[in-house]
Chains A and B, each alone.
Chain A
């Protein structure tokens, strides 16, 4: 295979062997873990900062403004400056809040998104943990975030927070069904839940082209449900600032607020990278049938670039949604999920199963 020049599995093995020859196996494992921990921590922070910058810039351009442009060239250091400012802000204690739960909520939200990030395949060989139930694990862990949101709303002892958290709970819980079921539609095609297998089985053709109409419908449902699940875009009534000030994080200040903000953007990144992995082939280059020359050229683009590019396109789509659609009411939101997306999704699963059984796919 041509993309083997970018295969990092051998590099990982080389590092592993080198470390094991220098020190005892226990210390080698600890060193590897420390390296991976630091790398993921940095990645998490950089992606968060970059996405906040990207959102402000894209929002600016959509509204015919320039966005942040003072700190650094094109304002690229704006979010770093914001981060330092938030870090240096006092944490205001709330008298009537439930102190323990109030402090626990940011932990839960960050833990949920960080643990889900562990199972994402970034490129061939860059994959922290390759579960055999990978995609199911990501769904399970990332849905833990809703507990953090409910805790934050309840423990603040604030009416805005409570209303925001309850809305958000109902919304996330409803749309999680559609996220799960549309991913399930894709899993019928793969016959596996392991993310590395899922990516490799799309070597010839990405799922969205391979699965005909059912795959495309599943992708559409996934995009709508994922936007709602991350509390974004037209579905952001959990923090509808015109009616609820800031929803569930009204009472949070300084760096605690920053963590809710960061978690929102990381969830968006996670959701986008799952969409890229399952429907657009993850780090697999674009291959078209028998166009050998074209395929060879595509193979020269490194897999990590493919992966990040696809994720960036999907994130951009979600930002576009946010700044162009008006916000829904809660009854419209729940009607959309329970009366439209869920029945369509159930039928779509059956159609997909039929397509797979009859061999109508590519």
Chain B
């Protein structure tokens, strides 16, 4: 199979979910009740909206992730050709990782890795 047939798996997944959703919308018995479609909050009436501001800590980790994930993308091609290039590639990756680890240590020093 060639790479275009990836669309097939996309279609199969959509058919699986879509088919079941359509079936479940029309076939099962349903009853309407205004309280049923309330947002769940331990059974008491819901207070306000839930689209609130959230802890900024999550944001910090997302930024850190971005740095290291881009790094992973850079290192994958290196991993494939490392054997052929030899010692030069190894020295270069040591320098690359040295800079990265400096970044991680900076984040560590600034208490970005501590959950508050």
Contacts and interface: CB of A to CB of B under 8 A. Distances in A.
A221 to B, nearest CB: 14
Contact of B76 (A154, A184, A250): A184
Contacts of A95: 37-39
Given A110-B13, A170-B62, A254-B24, A342 B115 contact: no
Interface in A237-254: 245, 250-251, 254
A191 B21 contact: no
What secondary structure prevails in chain A residues at the interface with B?
A: helix
Given A131-B3, A191-B84, A193-B76, A114 B13 contact: yes
A251 B72 contact: no
Contacts of B30: 90
Nearest to A38: B12
Contact of B58 (A91, A115, A170, A258): A170
25 contacts: A37-B8, A87-B20, A89-B28, A90-B29, A92-B36, A97-B39, A111-B14, A115-B6, A118-B6, A128-B5, A158-B40, A161-B50, A162-B50, A174-B65, A177-B69, A180-B72, A184-B72, A184-B76, A187-B76, A187-B79, A339-B113, A346-B97, A350-B90, A353-B93, A354-B90
Interface of A: 32-33, 36-37, 40-41, 44, 87-97, 103, 106-107, 110-111, 114-115, 117-118, 128-129, 131, 136, 154, 156-162, 166, 169-170, 173-174, 176-177, 180-181, 184, 187-188, 191-193, 245, 250-251, 254-256, 258-259, 330-331, 334-335, 338-339, 342-343, 346, 349-350, 353-354, 356-357
Interface of B: 1-3, 5-6, 8-18, 20-21, 23-25, 27-31, 36-41, 46, 49-52, 54-55, 57-58, 61-62, 64-65, 68-69, 72, 75-76, 79-84, 86-87, 89-90, 93-94, 97, 100-101, 104, 108, 113-115
Which 5 pairs, one residue from A and one from B, show the smallest C-beta to C-beta distance?
A: A331-B115, A114-B13, A111-B13, A90-B30, A187-B79
